Amino acid sequence: MTVAERGSRQDRVRGAVQHLGEWAAELRWSDVPDEVRERVLTVLVDAVAVTALGSREPAQRAFVDAWDPPAGPAPLFGTGRSVAVDAAAWLNATASVRLELDDGHRLAGGHPAAHGFPAVLALASRAATTGADLCSALLVAYEVAARFGRATRLRPGTHPHGNWGVAGAGAGCARVLGLSGDDAAVAIDAASGLPIAGPFSAALDGNPVRDAWVGASNQSGLAAARLAASGTGHLTGVAAESLGDLLGVLDPAALDDGLGERWEVLGGYFKQHSSCSFTHAAVDAALSLRERIDGDAGEVLVEIHSLGAQLDRTRWPTPLAAMFSLPFVVATALLRGHVVPADLSQTALADPLTADLARRITVRAAPDLDARLPAERPVRVTVDTPGGRHVEERPNPVGDADFQPFTADDRFRVLGDLLGAPEVVADARNHLAELPGAADAGELLRSLGSAIRFR
């Protein structure tokens, strides 16, 4: 690429970021379509519930204890505690992804809400923000993050946590602070210059630094918005090189294409299995097969697109590694009939029957399935039994926006089952239904944080 071409691309990124900043500053909740407003509140209930669920995990509790966060205005969902803004942003973020149950966006290639919602909620607990403005900030965070995700094609081997999503965190925090369009653009730009280059292998190895990348994203979003608020930032289109050269390829046109007309939040998905989204269609297929094979599984073949074929390990030293192992989750689904947090306990990870079946599971990339990317993330599972061969194919996981999507009621039912406490989800839903009309969003969030407590 010539110097002139590089400069032109940077100018286009700068122009798109300026447009995003102006849109973020001017967005009013009352102008958002009803369908979008309802979806944002569903995603918010989901985010709070899965964060509370993650907060119960022994590893998350140990992390919070080691952090020893000072008291402050921002709730740590699920703990009954309120701590300093930056601590809440980081700790809630790691809890939200701890069990691989946070919602995501297939075309963005990751998790827009987890990258910015914890920071936006933590900051709103301290700032003087109305509920309507907080709802706008959450929508801004999601839309900007998802657009950066769709615009970025990461280099092979790069995990999506902590890089393109930072821009959404910066945008949402700028909206909470009430920054002008110019300053919001500076915040988005600065955030896009704070990516993490995390290897996908960390998730396969079970290294929990992968969860910390989302904590870093939220804290970096706070930092970017504060930089913009200080008046010392400078918009340059840095994402053209941070995301576009160092980490992959960036398409400037995708950043603001259809802005305010195509709502990315409507294209997201919800999870019902505690595992990497690349495994979900395989789990769905395995659960269907389980009803037909009556426990007689012999050899199992999982044919999948190349994105998922790397999840073929038959050792899982940590829960995270298990959630990124197709042999583990398919074996668990066939043997137990579900893949839920309880299936990630040390006892479950050490189960010899699961290990034995996992060793008989072959994972293979299939060119015909690859050809269906990105519109689908298909899988084909074949199980040999004494009585014959059984095959099940799925185009996408259940819960995807384009395949058996969950309604709000569906999602709240699943969350209640996962938490083992439907009343907690109902309480969160009732609290957050009042958010758009709340005069003080922080007060409502603290009330919600006190109500959802597991320790």
pLDDT over 60 at 281, yes or no? yes
pLDDT over 90 at 451, yes or no? no
The pLDDT of 394-402, averaged and rounded, is: 94
pLDDT over 70 at 455, yes or no? no
Domains in the chain, CATH or no CATH each: 3-272+410-451 (1.10.4100.10), 277-394 (3.30.1330.120)
| pLDDT tens readout for residues 355-375 | 999 999 999 999 999 999 999
The structure tokens listed for 410 are: 């569906």
The pLDDT of 194-203, averaged and rounded, is: 98
| pLDDT tens readout for residues 117-150 | 999 999 999 988 999 999 999 999 999 999 999 9
pLDDT at 295: 75
- Determine the Cα–Cα distance for residues 180 and 223; give it in Å rounded to an integer: 17
pLDDT at 132: 98
What single letter denotes the amino acid at residue 449? Answer: G
pLDDT over 90 at 52, yes or no? yes
User: SS3 breakdown of the chain: % helix, strand, coil, rounded to 5?
Assistant: 60, 10, 30
Q: What percent of the chain has pLDDT over 70?
A: 99
pLDDT at 297: 87
CB atoms within 10 A of CB 248: 18
Q: Which residue has the tokens 């590893």?
A: 59
Burial class (CB in 10 A: 0-12, 13-18, 19+), 386: exposed
- Determine the Cα–Cα distance for residues 280 and 390; give it in Å rounded to an integer: 19
Binned at pLDDT 50, 70 and 90, residue 62 comes out as: very high
Binned at pLDDT 50, 70 and 90, residue 269 comes out as: very high
Prediction pTM value: 0.96
Between 9 and 190, name the one with better pLDDT.
Answer: 190
pLDDT over 80 at 97, yes or no? yes
